[in-house]
Amino acid sequence: MKDFEKNVFVNCPFDQEYRPLLHVLIFTLLYLGFRPRLALERSDSGESRLHKIVELIHESKFGIHDLSRCQAHEKDELFRLNMPLELGIDMGCKYFPGKRWKTKRLLVLETERYRYQAAISDLSGCDIKAHQNDADLLIKAVRDWLVQEASLNQAPPVSEMSSAFQDFYGSEYDRLRHSGWTEQEIAHLPTDELKRNMMTWMASR
């Protein structure tokens, strides 16, 4: 299976509030030499979303699942169940027969440290990292997890990756603004396009 060892399935909120953290997450994975795989990367309307997700999980040794939206913000707002569902599919793979599935590694993220326990008590006892909606804490959680689970040698420190992300984000914002993009257009730049721009920026350094 092509790139199985480098593919990281990213299961996280795709809303505007989470968007900068999604960009931090993608940037961190690329910076460390991994391939972030997201349901957003393909937009074939004829393909069912669940089929697409199962395929991404199938192709990825690593999975990052952010359960930050396990709590509704407003009265009568339904909390989102897609992320726990996708975590369940990825987690279930580890129990399938076959050596490949036993090598799968998962990182579960949350905004707050113990909030998930009330929502998904079956995860009690699992190691869950809290990022507090902070870019540096998110970079640290992903970096440290990959150093351990992917046996990364000489991974750069958080400060280096954090600085590089700020520099990229700033130069990208400046470039788009001076190319005539509106704030609204920048805010809705397709994630896959931004991912390609990150790769171009990293290659040019």
Partner 1 sequence: MENAYHVYQRPNGRWSVRKYGAVRAARNFGNRSGAMAFGKKMARAQAGKLFVHQRNGRIESLLEFTTGH
Binding interface with partner 1 (CB under 8 A): 19-21, 23-24, 132-137, 159-160, 163, 165-167, 169-171, 173-174, 177
Q: How far apart are CA 144 and CA 141, in angstroms?
A: 6
Nearer of residues 142 and 150 to partner 1, judged by Cβ? 142
DSSP assignment of 92-157 equals HHTTSSSHHHHT-EEEEEESSSSTHHHH-GGGTTS-EEE-TT-HHHHHHHHHHHHHHHS--SSPPP
Which 3 state secondary structure label does DSSP give 85?
A: helix
Residue 4 Cβ vs partner 1, minimum distance, rounded to whole Å: 29
Nearer of residues 86 and 172 to partner 1, judged by Cβ? 172
Residue 28 Cβ vs partner 1, minimum distance, rounded to whole Å: 11
Nearer of residues 5 and 174 to partner 1, judged by Cβ? 174
Pairing of strands 128-130, 105-110: parallel
Residue 205 Cβ vs partner 1, minimum distance, rounded to whole Å: 10
Nearer of residues 20 and 88 to partner 1, judged by Cβ? 20
